[in-house]
Structure 1
Amino acid sequence: MRRKGHSAQGDFVISVAASMCSEETRWIETEAGRLFSAAWTPQDDGADGAPIVLFHDSLGSVALWRSFPARLATVTGRRVIAYDRLGFGRSDPHPGKLEFDFIAREGRAVLPRLAATFGFGDFVACGHSVGGSMAIETSAAFPDTCRATITIAAQAFVEPKTLEGIRVAQREFEDPANMERLAKYHGDKAPWVADAWIGTWLSPAFAGWTLDDALGRVRCPVLAIHGDEDEYGSPAHAHRIAENRGTVHILAGTGHVPHRECEEVLSTVIARFLEITLPSG
């Protein structure tokens, strides 16, 4: 049975959402190293329909999704799967420098391994920030099995506002305390994680990057979610992502991390989109 109810008491709802899901973790072997992954499955009647695959942001990890995957699984009635990209979280270190085509490469390389590990065919791609861009690229790469795509605060091109936000973060990482906080989630990989984000996006060689080619190849419905106070990009990204096949949802009073700022609202928006878009699961 799908859970549709919500409470205004955020902490209470989070604990209920977690209790309504079973969580399992698995390791995925790749040629470059092991990836840590986790899945949340609604307990009452099991998962219904294509699972939701989460792609994390440039500093993210499975742990940094926090309670969002459990709540999303509960309100959608779907299994939710997340993983740490190579070099992030509990996954093995990345063997070198992040390539400039890393956004397009990620889903093509990892989605088949996730599907084999967790036993699914059709899926829903969902990602936050650069993970949203990866969700679009993954949808374009697997048009026959991607049933819907959801982006959260994603970038579709290199915008001055995005670069300015990254420059602010670059200055903040000069404080060792901020790097220590990052190390809580990435261990001794934290400097690589920060440099992979800052160094890539601020490189002149990356300035011409866009999602335009991938967006032209997406066949499934798209929901582009964006906060109107996002410090890393304007709503122009969401409108560009949704221009051909999608719907834009702007979250009022919300910055760059909706799954922490308004988890309940975000989960409800996604659940409603999937109910309308994929009514049969």
Structure 2
Amino acid sequence: MTIEFVDIVVDARRLTIEHEWLSPERRDQPLMVFLHEGLGSVSMWRDFPAKAVDALGWRGLVYSRPGYGRSTPRPSDEAWGPDFMHRQAQQVLPALLQALGIDAHRDPPWLLGHSDGGSIALLHAAAFPAQVAGVVAMAPHLFVEELSLASIARAREAYLHGALRQGLAKHHADVNSAFWGWNNAWLSPAFRPWDISDELGTIACPVLAIQGEDDEYGTLAQVRRIAARVKATTVLPLPECGHSPHRDQPERVISAVSSFVQPGR
């Protein structure tokens, strides 16, 4: 694993972004950008991105959002508002692509996002419809469900009193930055009405929406809502699968992604 760092500027603030290129020598092949979950990072993807791009014969880009991994941490006094995923989709990701010399106008990348990363991928595709070739959204959130909030509240208890903090500390230079940015934002009363459903109508690319049927953080209503808003949506429910399809059923997910992005292959 070769980790690199690049600086971007968002809201007049300089941020350092941890990232990794996968098979960059395939410069003439499409690019898949991977967007991690609400507690994720480059390292928490493990080997899934490499296996996915190898199956496709593509290039890949994995990065840690600000506040995560070894990217610039969230200041301890900074509370993320209900728009935190919008900011990632509409400000941070475009700035990162530009800093890395990716011309999304000329060669739109594909986006593969998990959980919050899936929501960010959808929001980016909605804001820049001509600059995204397609979206794979695994366990994305479009609106707030009580199931999600209950699981996020349990995560708080596990972080405070269980082994979650120790496990996450292996993947984040500032583990409190990663956990409390995400947890406090989701459990804030101001986040309860959050709903991006009506923003997705501008998406012009195809979408593969994958949802585990045993997901403790969301139900099939999330991906069905995508299909109701975006015509070119394929919904893939996965039995015996929880919140992380790429960890629970990696071969099934890679096969589905391959069929989706390269139909008829």
Residue 159 of structure 1: aligned partner: 145
Q: 1:165-192 CA deviation, whole Å, 9 max, x = no partner? A: 11111121122532121111113x2123
Given that 1:223 and 1:242 are in contact with CA atoms closer than 8 Å, whether structure 2 keeps it comes out as no
Residue 55 of structure 2: aligned partner: 75
Q: How does 1:186-225 map to 2 (within 5 A)?
A: 186-187=172-173, 189-225=174-210
Report whether the alignment pairs 1:28 with 2:13.
no
Shift in Å at residue 92 of structure 1?
Answer: 1.4
Shift in Å at residue 48 of structure 1?
Answer: 5.3
Shift in Å at residue 217 of structure 1?
Answer: 1.5
Alpha-carbon distance between aligned partners in 1 of 2:140 and 2:21, rounded to the nearest angstrom: 23
Aligned residues with identical type, % of pairs: 35
Shift in Å at residue 109 of structure 1?
Answer: 1.7
Alpha-carbon distance between aligned partners in 1 of 2:253 and 2:27, rounded to the nearest angstrom: 20
What SS does the corresponding residue of 1:242 show, helix, strand or coil?
helix
Residue 20 of structure 2: aligned partner: 38
Question: 1:144 is matched with which residue: 102, 114, 130?
Answer: 130
Q: TM-score, normalised by structure 2?
A: 0.89
Residue 178 of structure 1: aligned partner: 164
Q: 1:18-73 CA deviation, whole Å, 9 max, x = no partner? A: xxxxx653312023320101111276xx2554311111111000000000110111
What SS does the corresponding residue of 1:61 show, helix, strand or coil?
coil
Given that 2:34 and 2:63 are in contact with CA atoms closer than 8 Å, whether structure 1 keeps it comes out as yes
Question: 2:116 is matched with which residue: 103, 117, 130?
Answer: 130
Q: How does 1:253-268 map to 2 (within 5 A)?
A: 253-268=240-255
What SS does the corresponding residue of 1:196 show, helix, strand or coil?
helix
Residue 93 of structure 1: aligned partner: 73
Alpha-carbon distance between aligned partners in 2 of 1:47 and 1:168, rounded to the nearest angstrom: 44
Given that 2:24 and 2:60 are in contact with CA atoms closer than 8 Å, whether structure 1 keeps it comes out as no
Alpha-carbon distance between aligned partners in 1 of 2:122 and 2:53, rounded to the nearest angstrom: 21
What SS does the corresponding residue of 2:61 show, helix, strand or coil?
strand
Q: Label 1:166 to 1:125 Cα distance change in 2 as closer, same or farther (>3 A).
A: same
Question: 1:247 is matched with which residue: 234, 239, 264?
Answer: 234
Given that 2:209 and 2:235 are in contact with CA atoms closer than 8 Å, whether structure 1 keeps it comes out as yes
Aligned residues: 253
Alpha-carbon distance between aligned partners in 2 of 1:89 and 1:178, rounded to the nearest angstrom: 15
Alpha-carbon distance between aligned partners in 1 of 2:57 and 2:27, rounded to the nearest angstrom: 6
Given that 1:28 and 1:34 are in contact with CA atoms closer than 8 Å, whether structure 2 keeps it comes out as yes
Alpha-carbon distance between aligned partners in 2 of 1:269 and 1:233, rounded to the nearest angstrom: 20
Q: 1:186-221 CA deviation, whole Å, 9 max, x = no partner? A: 13x212322122211111101111121321121111
Q: Label 1:93 to 1:50 Cα distance change in 2 as closer, same or farther (>3 A).
A: same
Q: 1:125-149 CA deviation, whole Å, 9 max, x = no partner? A: 2200011000000101111111111
Question: 2:102 is matched with which residue: 106, 116, 119?
Answer: 119
Residue 40 of structure 2: aligned partner: 60
Query: Where in structure 1 do 4 or more consecutive aligned residues deviate above 4 Å?
Result: none
Letter in 1 for 2:89: G
**Greater CA deviation, 68-77 or 189-198?**
189-198
5+ residue gaps, structure 1, are 1-22
Q: Label 1:51 to 1:153 Cα distance change in 2 as closer, same or farther (>3 A).
A: same
